[in-house]
C-alpha cells in the first residue's frame, strides 16, 4: 500500500513540475500520444472506454518513458480496433485509485502506410474472411496506398485473383464506413464538439451528418438532448452562420423560454415576455417576432392559448396532469374499516407516534384517490407520506 501511494505521489510531483516548466505563461500545450490499441478494460454503451495502448510516439515528456510500453487511457470513442494505430490528444492524469492514466479529449485513426501494417489491417477481424494470404496479394498488387486506392476506385480490387465479388464489396463497404466514421468524428471535434458529443451526433445522423451541419445545425437540438443550445450556438456562429439566420432566432426563442420557465416556474408566457427573454440573450431586438412565433406553432414547438404561449412539451405535460387528476377525482372514494387500529399497529411496529393531524392525513390519503399533503419543514410530511406509499 505504501509503495503504491509513494509512486502516485512521485508521479503527481512529476506532472506538477512538468506543468511549471512547460506552461510558464499559463497556456496549455497540446500533447498527443501515438500508439497501438491493445485491448479494452471497461466500456459503456455511451462510447466511454478505459483501455490499454502500446506507446510508439509522443510529445508528452511525462510519457516518453513509456515508449514501447503500455499505458492505460480513458475517453469517449466511436470504435477502436485492436492492433490498430491511433493518435490520442489529451493529458496525463493521476487517478486516485488506478494511478497514471492518459485522458483523451480527441483522437484519430492513423492509416497504416507500410506494407506490414496494411496487411495486418486488411487481415484483421474488421474484414471477415480476408486472411493474411489474401491481404498480402492485395498489397502486392495495389501497393502501399492500397487503402486509398480501394476507397477512391471501386474497381481497384478487380485485378485481385481469387477474391470473390461478395468479398470485394465487403472490403469496399467496410473501408468506406470506417473512413467515414473516423472522418466525421475528427470533423465534429474540430468544430468544437467534444468526442462524446461527436459520437452522439454521428450515431444519430451517420452519412447525413455534414448535410445536417451545413443546412441547419440547430435541428440537432430537436433530436439530441445531450447537446446544449449555448454550445451549439457558439459553434454555429464560429462557422460563420448569420446571427439573424431564421433557424437561429427560433432556436433562441425556445432556449430562452426553457431557461425562463426553469428559473421562474412559469409554464406560459405573453409575447412581451418572449420579446424580453429573447433580447436578454441576443442583445438586440427582433422586428418580425410574430413570424417566428407562427413558424414555431406550425412546427408544433409552441402552443398558443388566447394571448399566452406554451412550450409544447410543457403544455402536453400539463394536459397529461390535468387528465390524470380529473380521472382520479371522478372515481369513487373508498371507506376502509379499522384504520385507527391499523395506524396504532403501524406505530408499534415502527416505534413512532403520529399526532392527530398526521393520523387524519393518513386516513384521508388512503381513502381518497387524490390527496395533497402540505406543511412547512419538520411538520411530519415525509413520515406521513411514507406510510401512504
Task: Please write the tens of the pLDDT for every residue from 237-273.
Answer: 999 999 999 999 999 999 999 999 999 999 999 999 9
User: Grid coordinates standing for 13?
Assistant: 510531483
CATH value of 246-315 in 1.10.10.10, 3.40.50.300, 3.30.1330.10, 1.20.1250.20: 1.10.10.10
pLDDT at 258: 96
CA atoms within 13 A on the CB side of 265: 0
Mean pLDDT of the chain: 87
For the beta sheet containing 302-305, the strands, ordered from the edge strand earlier in sequence to the opposite edge, are 269-270, 308-311, 302-305
Question: From CA 355, how far away is CA 92, in angstroms rounded?
Answer: 59
pLDDT at 138: 95
Q: Which residues contact 60 (CB under 8 A, 6 or more apart)?
A: 31, 32, 33, 91, 92
pLDDT at 387: 65
Whole-Å CA distances, 265 to 97, 177, 261, 277: 42, 46, 5, 14
From-to residues of CATH 1.10.10.10 in the chain:
246-315
CB contact at 8 A, 1 and 9: no
Residue 269 backbone zone (phi > 0: left; psi -120 to 50: alpha; other: beta): beta
Q: Please state the φ and ψ torsions of residue 388, each to the nearest 5 degrees.
A: -65, -40
The CA-based angle 343-345-349, given to 5 degrees, is 115
Minimal CA–CA distance to 92: which of 182, 41, 17, 1?
17
What is the CATH architecture of 115-182? Answer: Orthogonal Bundle (1.10)
CB contact at 8 A, 311 and 254: yes
The CA-based angle 318-322-323, given to 5 degrees, is 120
pLDDT at 28: 55
Q: Does domain 2-109 have CATH number 3.20.20.450?
A: no
pLDDT at 45: 86
Minimal CA–CA distance to 54: which of 30, 41, 38, 65?
38
* β pairing state of 99-109 and 31-43: unpaired
pLDDT at 389: 57
Minimal CA–CA distance to 277: which of 298, 296, 255, 251?
255
Minimal CA–CA distance to 389: which of 378, 371, 376, 379?
371
Q: Which parts of the chain sit beneath pLDDT 70? A: 1-29, 386-389
Question: From CA 272, how far away is CA 134, in angstroms rounded?
Answer: 70
Q: Please state the φ and ψ torsions of residue 116, each to the nearest 5 degrees.
A: -65, -40
Tracing cell 497504416 back to the chain, one arrives at 112
pLDDT at 295: 97
CB contact at 8 A, 143 and 106: no
Amino acid at each position: 500500500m505504501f509503495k503504491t501511494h509513494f509512486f502516485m505521489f512521485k508521479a503527481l510531483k512529476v506532472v506538477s513540475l512538468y506543468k511549471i516548466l512547460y506552461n510558464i505563461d499559463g497556456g496549455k500545450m497540446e500533447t498527443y500520444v501515438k500508439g497501438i490499441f491493445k485491448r479494452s478494460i471497461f466500456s459503456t454503451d455511451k462510447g466511454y472506454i478505459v483501455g490499454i495502448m502500446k506507446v510508439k510516439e509522443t510529445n508528452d515528456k511525462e510519457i516518453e518513458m513509456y515508449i514501447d510500453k503500455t499505458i492505460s487511457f480513458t475517453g469517449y470513442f466511436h470504435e477502436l480496433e485492436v492492433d490498430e494505430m491511433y493518435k490520442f490528444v489529451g493529458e496525463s492524469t493521476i487517478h486516485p485509485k488506478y494511478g497514471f492514466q492518459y485522458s483523451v479529449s480527441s483522437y484519430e485513426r492513423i492509416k497504416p502506410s507500410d506494407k506490414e501494417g496494411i496487411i495486418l489491417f486488411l487481415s484483421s477481424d474488421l474484414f471477415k474472411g480476408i486472411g493474411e494470404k489474401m491481404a498480402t496479394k492485395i498489397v502486392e498488387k495495389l501497393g502501399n496506398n492500397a487503402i486509398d486506392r480501394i476507397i477512391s476506385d471501386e474497381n481497384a480490387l478487380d485485378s485481385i485473383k481469387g477474391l470473390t465479388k461478395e468479398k470485394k464489396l465487403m472490403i469496399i463497404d467496410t473501408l468506406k464506413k470506417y473512413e467515414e466514421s473516423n472522418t466525421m468524428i475528427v470533423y465534429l471535434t474540430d468544430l468544437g464538439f467534444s468526442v462524446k458529443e461527436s459520437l452522439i451526433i454521428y450515431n444519430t445522423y451517420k452519412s447525413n451528418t455534414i448535410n445536417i451541419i451545413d443546412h441547419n445545425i440547430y435541428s440537432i437540438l430537436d433530436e439530441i438532448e445531450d447537446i446544449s443550445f449555448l454550445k451549439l450556438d457558439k459553434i454555429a456562429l464560429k462557422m460563420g452562420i448569420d446571427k439573424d439566420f431564421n433557424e437561429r432566432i427560433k432556436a433562441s426563442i425556445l432556449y430562452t423560454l426553457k431557461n425562463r420557465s426553469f428559473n421562474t416556474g412559469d409554464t406560459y408566457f405573453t409575447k412581451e415576455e418572449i420579446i424580453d427573454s429573447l433580447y436578454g440573450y441576443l442583445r438586440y431586438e427582433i422586428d418580425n417576432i410574430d413570424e417566428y412565433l407562427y413558424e414555431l406553432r406550425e412546427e408544433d414547438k409552441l402552443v398558443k392559448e388566447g394571448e399566452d404561449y406554451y412550450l409544447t412539451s410543457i403544455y402536453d405535460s400539463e394536459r397529461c396532469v390535468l387528465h390524470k387528476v380529473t380521472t382520479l377525482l371522478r372515481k369513487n372514494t373508498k371507506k376502509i374499516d379499522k384504520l385507527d387500529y391499523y395506524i396504532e399497529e403501524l406505530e408499534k411496529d415502527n416505534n413512532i407516534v403520529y399526532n392527530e393531524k398526521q393520523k387524519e392525513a393518513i386516513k384521508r390519503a388512503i381513502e381518497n384517490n387524490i390527496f395533497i399533503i402540505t406543511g412547512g419543514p419538520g411538520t411530519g410530511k415525509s413520515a406521513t407520506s411514507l406510510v401512504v406509499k
